[in-house]
Structure 1
Amino acid sequence: MTTPVRCVCAAILAVLTPLLALGQAAPAGKPISPDLFGIFFEDINYAADGGLYAELVQNRSFEYAPSDHEGWNSLTAWEYLHEGYAMGSVSVESAAPLHANNPHYATLRVENPFQKGLGLKNTGFDGIPVRAGEKYNFSMWGRVKSGAAVPLLVQLRGAKDQVLAETTLSAQKADWQQYSATLAPSTTDDKATLVVLVTGKGVIDLDMVSLFPENTFHRHPNGLRPDLAQAIADIKPKFVRFPGGCLAHGDGLDNLYDWKKTIGPVEQRVAQRNIWNYHQTAGLGYFEYFQFCEDIGAKPLPVVAAGVSCQNSGGSWRIGSVGQQAIPISEMDAYVQDVLDLIEWANGPVTSPWGAKRAAAGHPAPFNLEYVGIGNEDKITPDFRSRFTLLYNAVHAKYPNLKIVGTVGPGPKGEDYDLGWALANQLDVPLVDEHYYEKPKWFWANNQRYDSYDRAKSKVYLGEYASWGNTLYNALAEAAYMTSLERNGDVVQLASYAPLLAKEGHTQWNPDMIYFTNTTIVPTVNYYVQQLYGHNQGNTYHQGVVTLPTGAAADTTLAASCVRDAQTGDVILKLVNASPQVQTFPINLASFKGLTSAATLTVLSGDKDAKNTFANPQTVLPKKSSYKAGKSFAYTSQPYSMVVIRVRGRGARR
């Protein structure tokens, strides 16, 4: 009789397990990852240059090329000015540059300035936005070739070419010298330009012509655009992944993202072609990424190439393309050392070679790096496996406490997914990076995806996901799926929506979380879902607190979760109703000790197809109010809504 009884018990357990996962059992706290919800940053859609990076001058070092983007050249975004009857010429040169990593510069030859002068005008990234009453820091490197000092007039001009601010400089050195000034425009103008005029006879070389708002995020030099940075900070992410996905392993071996080329003085960094068909100045480099993480209280998660380029290098879906390329095995020791040097740069003492370089940049304290990713949705070829294994073994041997994130291909299933998981299990990789972009119905149908994952094997970083749209319904599908990430927060350690930023008129990928122009930011409904989770993360997940309405299937329109914040003692309920009817969720808090009846209620709701746009940026916004919660109560949610009820713990710290 023993075997039949065991079979019956197993059958009953098999039936009950999904019900328990859907919130039908008695409350029992389960620890979940403290770093569960974060953000993914990639320089796609002009997210860095022209976006988060606050530099207002485009092509500041004359390094643009046709290989970056069709039709571009060294003077893209610049106009040659010869005011009045000024006589002279402009050219782009490369002899004896400012630095070998920055090989091009502009040469202005002025034969006769005719008082008004001759020079260059930069139109910025769709114009240069300036505000009256604010200050802007101008700088440039110059070298005088004509012997005598060369007078310069630096101006901010408005859309109608009127002067908004100006200052004069005198270039005198025969060697490269940096010159700087502060400009304070008298008028606000969203389409300003920067003008540098030579007002006397002479020859001068110009490079790294730059304009930054003085008020960058946290007022860092070479800093970030404050409104965009704050919008990201307002999500309260627990981690930031950078420098991207495909960007990290690049378009061919010559385009791999090399972190060492993105640190140090900006004029010595290596600009390069962007895999998304534009240009990276590397002004937003590894130091700035780590600094931003520190500023917003998020853990850094850098991702390095796994010794291979993107399998789509050269656009491998086209005939005659390049495809995945691998660093020769004979060169892998040097590449492995580059990755080890990154970890030392982030965490090493100032007495270490790379720790000293971090200190020299202005950050003597370690950045306390805990995570590093190796690879990005790579095709799991023999070349990949051999190089990933070399990297993983070397990093794990030297830094055994570092949490290494592997990769299992670009989708939720398939050959690369299976091969990636097999390699992770073979090497005992701490986490693997899953990616998927799917329709909303996929997220509903797969709400129980992680319930059956083997808890003894590698944990999961859901590094990229989105539901192919920015409507409220898309956001609710993601919100429902995130309840399953909380429920499985023991196996899903990290999760980040992607992509993060997209500039209007320069978008290579949709959907995105935040759309922006030079002056406007439009957080999507998806953004507000991520923000609600970011503000309401918990340390333990509790089953059986919320009961789904009778007869409702969780994989179609309804989902719920309950977590507790250990620091405040608050209990946080998330209810998702993607149906066209009101739904009542019975809630039982009787098993929790130390709760008050005081609560906050945040509701995100609207029409199914509603979305935030530049024309109507506030169509769907979360609305917060006070709420009184009992030990046992029912909450009736509106159609197409996400609700967060945060019940305050006694003596909660805030």
Structure 2
Amino acid sequence: MGIETGSATEGDSSLTPTSIVVDAGAPGRPISRDLWGIFFEDINYSADGGLYGELVQNRSFDYSARDRPEWHALTGWSVRAEPADSGEVTLRTEDPVAPQSPHYAVLRTSVPAGSVALVNEGFDGINVAEGGSYRFSVYARSFSDAPAALRVELADEDGELIADLGFPSVSGQWESYEGVLTVDRSCGAARLVLTVDASAEVGVEVGVDFVSLFPTDTFAGERNGLRRDLAEAIAELKPRFVRFPGGCVAHGLGLQNMYRWKDTIGELPSRRQNFNIWGYHQSMGIGYFEYFRFCERIGAKPLPVLAAGVCCQNTEGGPQAIPDDEMDDYVQEVLDLVEFANGPVDSLWGARRAELGHPEPFGLEYLAIGNEDKVNAVFRNRFERIYQAVRGKHPELTLIGTAGPSPFGDDYEQGWSFARDLAVDLVDEHSYKSPKWFFENLDRFDAYDRGGPGVYLGEYGSKGNTMLNALAEAAYMMGMERNGDIVRLASYAPLLAKVDRTQWVPDLIYFDNERVLPSLNYYVQQMHATAVGDHSLPVTVTGGPQFTRPPQREASVSVRAADADVAFTGLRLNGSEPLSAAVDAETTSFRFPVGTEDEDYTITLQACQTRGDEGFAVAFGDVDGPDHFEWSFGTWKNRFLSLYYRADGDLDEAVEPIPFSVETDRLYDLEIRVLGRGRRITCLLDGVVVHDVTSPDPIEERFSATAVRDSDTGTVHVKIVNATDRAVRTSLAITGVTGATGASRTTLTAPPGAGAAFEPAPAVPVGSRCDLSEPVSVEPYSFTILSLPA
């Protein structure tokens, strides 16, 4: 996952001539040393089954229908008895190991010399390596007068033994039993088998809980540790900070699902597990202590995100607030986290930290309050109470507010206004947009108010893993860096995604049980983070290649529904004869045989959904090409009405979504008015205007260059994005630097459509040397960094 070394061809006279002038003698604009970080949220099985090293799924028998409707306390386990009727497994809650984890399994043999076993297949199989050592542990107790023993085995897919160990005597009280299994051959889908054998005379009953298996080779060798290869891939990003635990996980679906940090520290059985907002289970094996330790291990600063006293606005019935009479306790909980991180060992929570093995403070500098919240009156009340308490007691902390889920709209405007009123240090913006939007907004932060709060771009991504997506992010990051005095922190999201267990695409790093699959986007992040500076320098680009998006061709109409039955009737395009169509589970889309070459046109139709929860969409414009518009009804689990622009195949909101749910068997009258092939779009629902969007002719800056200086070393890094199909012959002049004729060069390049989710990146950064006394060639669709020594 590092940089390869290779060669680059310079001075090709057929290349487009371009001049780049860097004023290295200028004071420059300051850049935060902490600018590039990462955001870890337990989405896409990022924690359990991912970064967390535990190999046993549902180790504490606490899965339930709260996690998923079909799940229960034995999900992930199967039962095997020999002979077939010689035993059973039941679940109990009386006298558990810990009240926070009430369920445990009881293995009961009912006949002499019989056996009963629990079999766990882990998270899509247990991957073990030949010669590897795996630490097994279990809490167990006997409920029988007869002697009871446990056998532990690792077996392959065919049931053949790979490793085993035994515990010949289980006591009548809960005790922890531990041993190491050494594997004699590799297996990607091993099973853990836990067996109780009856004595020769009578059956036995043994309770088990917290059945655990960890590789001994975890990251940093820690017992409750992290999967080494994934942790190392994260460390190789050189993050300056790590945001945790969310995202939506932080404030949860409902108050009972809110992430409470005190529930995540201490002995594993005493941690309060919870359902995951993304549809699975959180064991809390990676809690706040493990998080702080990981930050310390990789040299990153912690950036915790705590709920602002309200749960996620996507909760059924809307966001709910912690009751007023409980807010003082919650505010104290926030202050206690600061003490846990930074307090002396003679403080209450500093002493707790020391008990866990870390007497030294963790050096917390940043604290975020809230995530994408609806900025209403109750949010303002809860946020301000937390903010004022923390600000009053800990003025040394940098506090971060929130401005909704989009880089525009109501919550964005109100969130920023509220943050300015309170003089919050930073505001957390989120931008999940298309490459087109990023290339149009490279100068977004140029006009931000330098006298107000700074920006933390806490979540961003360009909706794909192709080279074009990676280049859009590289260029946007250059825009952030150029405005490093206002954009002080940034983190791509999401970070991790497990193949076949993913709720959100795209992501930075994909993985399965055996492989780590960094994306092209990952290498962009790594290149930026390893070529940092503390000042951005003035750069002038002359003669760079220009990009013009091809105009939309003939306008037409299509309809679709992902999982619904919808009848579309009476469609007219500029008064054409009425047409009808139906979409269902088999026919998910339909392209109407009608079109117009007019720049201005009107579409009218009726829609009625008779089955399904996910709504429907009407596409218009050049629907046969990669760029057109989509009006979507019932997006995000039938919650919103959205107008999208599809650019280069990626959907992007043209305007803030509106709360809306499709009603079954209701007839909707739809009207779409288009002027100038999309410069203005007006959408009417049942005769009422719901969207009215005017778009100027934006400029997509597909070729750009910036430069930063590292004052500690004197190194100047020149960064160039060429997201066009033309190679560039660059005359690079760096004023204010003497004697520098050579530079190290790092280039990432691939065809614009190369790269995809769940696949390894089709290219990696290549390192070389170049002579700056000669023109420098810049390849099409490339991100290049030239590093000049002092």
TM over 0.5: yes
Match of 1:441 among 436, 450, 455: 436
Contact 2:39/2:458 (<8 A) preserved: yes
Corresponding position of 2:318:
323
1:50 and 2:191 are equivalent in the alignment: no
User: How far apart, CA to CA, are the structure 1 residues paired with 2:544 and 2:233?
Assistant: 39
Shift in Å at residue 596 of structure 1?
4.1
Moved more, 338-347 or 554-563: 554-563
User: How far apart, CA to CA, are the structure 1 residues paired with 2:82 and 2:399?
Assistant: 58
Change (3 A) 1:551 1:222: closer
Change (3 A) 1:637 1:308: same
Contact 1:547/1:587 (<8 A) preserved: no
Contact 1:548/1:558 (<8 A) preserved: no
Change (3 A) 1:195 1:288: same
Aligned pairs for 1:137-152 (under 5 A) are 137-152=135-150
Corresponding position of 2:690:
none
Contact 1:94/1:105 (<8 A) preserved: yes
Shift in Å at residue 265 of structure 1?
0.6
Match of 2:707 among 524, 543, 562: 562
Corresponding position of 1:9:
none
Corresponding position of 1:207:
209
Deviation sequence 1:114-152 (CA, Å, 0-9, x none): 36x212000100000000111000000011111333111
User: How far apart, CA to CA, are the structure 2 residues paired with 1:514 and 1:28?
Assistant: 37
Match of 1:549 among 543, 549, 561: 543
Corresponding position of 1:580:
725
Match of 1:340 among 317, 335, 341: 335
User: How far apart, CA to CA, are the structure 2 residues paired with 1:548 and 1:254?
Assistant: 57
Contact 1:424/1:458 (<8 A) preserved: yes
Deviation sequence 1:422-461 (CA, Å, 0-9, x none): 1101100000000011111100111111000011100000
Aligned pairs for 1:388-537 (under 5 A) are 388-537=383-532
1:355 and 2:350 are equivalent in the alignment: yes
Corresponding position of 2:98:
99
Query: SS of the counterpart of 2:250?
Result: helix
Higher strand share: 2
1:603 and 2:747 are equivalent in the alignment: yes
Supply the AA of the counterpart residue of 1:134: G
Change (3 A) 1:42 1:22: farther
Aligned pairs for 1:177-216 (under 5 A) are 177-200=175-198, 201-216=203-218
User: How far apart, CA to CA, are the structure 2 residues paired with 1:140 and 1:346?
Assistant: 31
Corresponding position of 1:251:
253
Corresponding position of 1:131:
129
Contact 2:506/2:757 (<8 A) preserved: no
Supply the AA of the counterpart residue of 1:275: I
Supply the AA of the counterpart residue of 1:381: N
User: How far apart, CA to CA, are the structure 2 residues paired with 1:514 and 1:113?
Assistant: 52
Corresponding position of 2:769:
626
Deviation sequence 1:135-175 (CA, Å, 0-9, x none): 00000001111133311110000111110000111343221
Change (3 A) 1:84 1:187: farther
Change (3 A) 1:263 1:22: farther
Contact 1:522/1:613 (<8 A) preserved: no
Supply the AA of the counterpart residue of 1:634: P
Higher helix share: 1
User: How far apart, CA to CA, are the structure 2 residues paired with 1:383 and 1:22?
Assistant: 51
Supply the AA of the counterpart residue of 2:157: A
Aligned pairs for 1:299-314 (under 5 A) are 299-313=301-315
User: How far apart, CA to CA, are the structure 2 residues paired with 1:113 and 1:196?
Assistant: 18
Query: SS of the counterpart of 2:776?
Result: strand
Supply the AA of the counterpart residue of 1:156: L
Contact 1:547/1:585 (<8 A) preserved: no
Deviation sequence 1:355-390 (CA, Å, 0-9, x none): 011111111100000001000010001010000000
Change (3 A) 1:388 1:22: farther
Query: SS of the counterpart of 1:33?
Result: coil
User: How far apart, CA to CA, are the structure 2 residues paired with 1:216 and 1:605?
Assistant: 34
Query: SS of the counterpart of 2:789?
Result: strand
Shift in Å at residue 537 of structure 1?
1.3
Corresponding position of 1:276:
278
User: How far apart, CA to CA, are the structure 1 residues paired with 2:542 and 2:249?
Assistant: 42
Aligned pairs for 1:262-301 (under 5 A) are 262-301=264-303
User: How far apart, CA to CA, are the structure 1 residues paired with 2:356 and 2:117?
Assistant: 34
Shift in Å at residue 113 of structure 1?
5.6
Corresponding position of 1:318:
none
Higher Rg: 2
* TM-score, length basis structure 1: 0.92
1:643 and 2:784 are equivalent in the alignment: yes
Corresponding position of 2:359:
364
Deviation sequence 1:81-107 (CA, Å, 0-9, x none): 113456121111101111111111001
Match of 1:176 among 148, 152, 174: 174
Contact 1:502/1:516 (<8 A) preserved: yes
Supply the AA of the counterpart residue of 2:222: H
User: How far apart, CA to CA, are the structure 1 residues paired with 2:22 and 2:277?
Assistant: 44
Shift in Å at residue 606 of structure 1?
1.3
User: How far apart, CA to CA, are the structure 1 residues paired with 2:730 and 2:331?
Assistant: 53
Query: SS of the counterpart of 1:70?
Result: coil
Moved more, 26-35 or 124-133: 26-35
Change (3 A) 1:86 1:558: same
Which consecutive segments of 4 or more residues in structure 1 shift more than 3 A? 21-28, 550-555, 595-598
Query: SS of the counterpart of 2:784?
Result: strand
Shift in Å at residue 70 of structure 1?
2.2
Cα RMSD, aligned residues only: 1.7
Query: SS of the counterpart of 2:720?
Result: strand
Aligned pairs for 1:144-163 (under 5 A) are 144-163=142-161
Moved more, 253-262 or 560-569: 560-569
Query: SS of the counterpart of 1:155?
Result: strand
Query: SS of the counterpart of 2:319?
Result: coil
User: How far apart, CA to CA, are the structure 2 residues paired with 1:599 and 1:97?
Assistant: 64
Shift in Å at residue 598 of structure 1?
4.1
Supply the AA of the counterpart residue of 1:52: L
Supply the AA of the counterpart residue of 1:447: L
User: How far apart, CA to CA, are the structure 1 residues paired with 2:277 and 2:354?
Assistant: 31
Contact 1:326/1:383 (<8 A) preserved: yes
User: How far apart, CA to CA, are the structure 2 residues paired with 1:178 and 1:380?
Assistant: 48
Contact 1:54/1:222 (<8 A) preserved: yes
User: How far apart, CA to CA, are the structure 2 residues paired with 1:447 and 1:23?
Assistant: 18
User: How far apart, CA to CA, are the structure 1 residues paired with 2:53 and 2:64?
Assistant: 22
Any gaps of 5 or more consecutive residues in structure 1? 1-20, 314-320, 650-654
User: How far apart, CA to CA, are the structure 1 residues paired with 2:499 and 2:479?
Assistant: 33
Shift in Å at residue 234 of structure 1?
0.4
Percent of residue pairs bearing the same amino acid type:
49
User: How far apart, CA to CA, are the structure 2 residues paired with 1:634 and 1:441?
Assistant: 30
Contact 2:732/2:772 (<8 A) preserved: no
Change (3 A) 1:76 1:636: same
Supply the AA of the counterpart residue of 1:448: D
Change (3 A) 1:433 1:329: same
Contact 1:56/1:125 (<8 A) preserved: yes
Contact 1:548/1:586 (<8 A) preserved: no
Supply the AA of the counterpart residue of 2:404: G
Any gaps of 5 or more consecutive residues in structure 2? 1-19, 548-698
